[in-house]
Amino acid sequence: MALSSLFSLKSLAVLVVLMAIPLGIIVSLERAQPSTHVYNYHGTGGWLRECAKWDPTNRRFIVSFFEGGVGEVRVPEEAEKEVLLEEVTTVMEVNLAGNSSLGISVDTQRNRVLVVHADVFGNRYSALSAYDLSTWQRLFLTQLSGPSDEKSFADDVDVDAEGNAYVTDAKAGKIWKVGVEGNLITIIRNPLFTPKEWYKKFVALNGIVYHPDGFLIVIHTFSGNLFKVDLTKGEEVKVIKVAGGPLYFGDGLALLSPTKLVVAGNPSGRLVESKDGWETAAVVSKFSGPMHRLATSATLKDGKPYLNHMIGIGYPKKKFAIVEAVF
């Protein structure tokens, strides 16, 4: 069986980090005073939290469980300082058992959250679900791929102005478009999504954001390429030329403004800026957070970027960190 079908980038990265960093160094890093604001919280289950997105209406972070499921971490106004918060499980579906919950998109306009699910190790199942932000009632569950389809690994999601969702495939290098009611509309494919070098194909399209000017910005993790997918021009795909790139091992994305993009990963975060509508761009700043915890997603809270760090540390309760990235 091929290595790529056994491991995902994230599971490999976690393994490498845990093997490479001696326990004493981890303890030292954990005791060090952070240079920026950090939301620490106790998790309810496993060791890994793939994604965290801020829900401004309800003052909470919504987090996805690598072992499957979704939780919330409420942030009371009086707890804005260094207070240890608590995670509460909100979604744990039996019919999705064995699949990881990965990318999240909070759609405040429609009072819902979209969650990506995938068979990370076998690449035999991918799906997108939506839940009501008030009741956590499931609105839809759309299967994107199954055992009889090409191997796929749904990873991240974002929503356009009409409520259509776009889900990246980190295995086969494509983008699923799902309608507001959960109907699968189309699949976006392009030769540019597939690099020529075999070693850049282990993890393909990953983080994705919708730009208010009508296009998607998507990152390819192993090649480091950043793509512009113009939805107003028949889903035209272009490589964004990034000075200071490629953005190797880039993961989750968040738009800080129409001209600035936060890229999680390698080792914590990079700030990319474009002055020509994302035809070209440049890395203008970098942020180094707790690299032993592995930054995997980015979100905005009160206009400030925060990076979700995947690895929980501690026993019996695991402590997770969502770290402000100051560029």
Q: Look up the CATH number of the domain holding residue 120.
A: 2.130.10.10
Tell me if 106 sits within 8 A of 93, measured CB to CB. Answer: no
- Flag whether 10 is in a domain: no
Domain count along the chain? 1
pLDDT per position as a tens digit, 70-92: 999 999 887 666 789 999 999 99
- Flag whether 311 is in a domain: yes
Task: Give the type of residue at 160.
Answer: D
Tell me how far apart the alpha carbons of residues 122 and 147 are, in angstroms, rounded to a whole number.
9
- Flag whether 222 is in a domain: yes
pLDDT of amino acid 35: 84
- HSE of 92 in the Cβ direction (CA atoms, 13 Å)? 10
Full domain range(s) for residue 312: 35-324
- Flag whether 185 is in a domain: yes
Report, in angstroms and rounded to the nearest whole number, the Rg of the chain calculated over CA atoms: 18
- Flag whether 312 is in a domain: yes
Tell me if 150 sits within 8 A of 122, measured CB to CB. Answer: no
**What average pLDDT does this structure show over 242-261?**
97
Per-residue pLDDT band for 198 (boundaries 50, 70, 90) equals: very high
pLDDT of amino acid 31: 67
- Flag whether 80 is in a domain: yes
Q: Is pLDDT above 80 for 199?
A: yes
Tell me how far apart the alpha carbons of residues 240 and 294 are, in angstroms, rounded to a whole number.
25
Phi-psi region of 98 (alpha: psi -120 to 50; beta: other; left: phi over 0): left
Per-residue pLDDT band for 26 (boundaries 50, 70, 90) equals: low
Question: Can you give the pTM of this predicted structure?
Answer: 0.91
- Flag whether 24 is in a domain: no
Q: Is pLDDT above 70 for 11?
A: no
- Residue 27 DSSP symbol: H
- Flag whether 43 is in a domain: yes
